Amino acid sequence: MGTLPVLTAATSLVGASGAAAVTAAATAVIDPSAQRQTIRGFGGMTHSAWIGDLTAAQRDTAFGQGEGRLGFSVLRIPVPESQADWGRDVATARRAIELGATVIASPWNPPAHMVETFVRGSQTDARRLRYDMYGAYAQHLNDFTTHLRNNGVNLYGISVQNEPDYAHDWTWWTPAEIVRFLRENAGSIGTRVIAPESFQYLKNISDPILNDSTALANVDIIGAHLYGTPFANFPYPLFKQRGAGKELWMTEVYHPNSSDSADLWPQALDVGEHIHRAMVDAEFQAYIWWYIRRGYGPMREDGQISKRGANMAHFARFVRPGHVRIEATANPASNVYVSAYRGGGSSVVVVAINKGTSAVSQQFTLASGAASSVSSWLTDAGRNVAPQGTTGVSNRSFTATLPARSVTTFVTA
């Protein structure tokens, strides 16, 4: 078994700071033959009308795959109410596609003439789509899809409504209204349809879709947001029972908050754990941040990658669309989280997060397949996705030191 040399050197640095002990962990067994969900990508949102567009350089940082890039492979954009605004996010969308990303879109409101106000609890000016405008609204979404296609952006999917259950400032939908729209109108939309995008992955919003065969036939992606969703609510047994042939995406979140700097350490490691849980516990196929460029986001306002962004890049740069998550020992030691993915051929990507205050000596064993070497990249307090070199694999095993409060990505060859 080969030990990654640079990571071993990092252990001595930990020792110099007074935390000399290196905890031994149980072996993390990676089983390439035990395949789980197919990954569609990791990414974020741009919304030019609210915070301004990404610059050309920032687009390349967000969607490029090399060193110093985030490696995002999904872009989410809004569906403006007015056709006059439909070109606002096209330049960023086109560049994202050129760099290998897919693009989805979500509406906050239908055009004003399709909306009526009603009383919802204490809200006297709540908005909803008029029932006689469902067909026109489907055409509105279809027209936006066509407009983007004519301008070089083929949407992967379009949502019915952003957060229909947290819509004090936009348009409310009840679960029954979403089902009705899916049953009667969504079939006419010329791209994949996403619903319901509950703000907190509330299952009472998506269960009715899964329980209605006609509505389910007209939706392609069950989308959810994870604002404040406890990890215990990440699994979705009903989707496993009813969702065959459908995709499951996490289409918006920031975590753990929008008040702290994205460079706060070790808090930024919460993002790595959150993605791990979204992949392993929830089995989402995509993970999409809110604003790409923001003080609490993956890219700072100056265009540089933040610590939260580095955590995302450990997944996004190496776990590419089409990779398949494979079974791995998810928690081989306290505060250690491991997930694994199979790419083309026999290559395996492993992302290991150590949130503990001590370094961990971690053995990884492949249950099958062949690997002769492994390369690694490390983020800790002082480094961001820093290359750590390549070492050998012996008898399908390798051992690495995971420094305290760090995230490491390994790629076998």
Provide the annotated active-site residues: 163, 252
For residue 126, how many other CB atoms are within 10 A of its CB? Answer: 16
- Residue 74: HSE in the Cβ half-sphere, 13 Å Cα cutoff: 30
Rounded to the nearest 10 degrees, the angle between the axes of helix 175-184 and helix 134-150 is 70
End-to-end CA distance of the chain: give it in Å, rounded.
15
- The number of residues in the chain equals 413
Query: Could you give the CA distance from residue 57 to residue 303 in angstroms, rounded to a whole number?
Result: 8
The backbone torsions φ and ψ at residue 41, rounded to the nearest 5 degrees and listed phi first, read 145, 180
- Nearest in space to 8 (alpha carbons), one of 29, 18, 22: 22
Tokens of 296: 């609490």
Cβ-based neighbours of 72, under 8 Å, separated by 6 or more: 41, 42, 43, 44, 62, 63, 96, 101, 292, 298, 312, 316
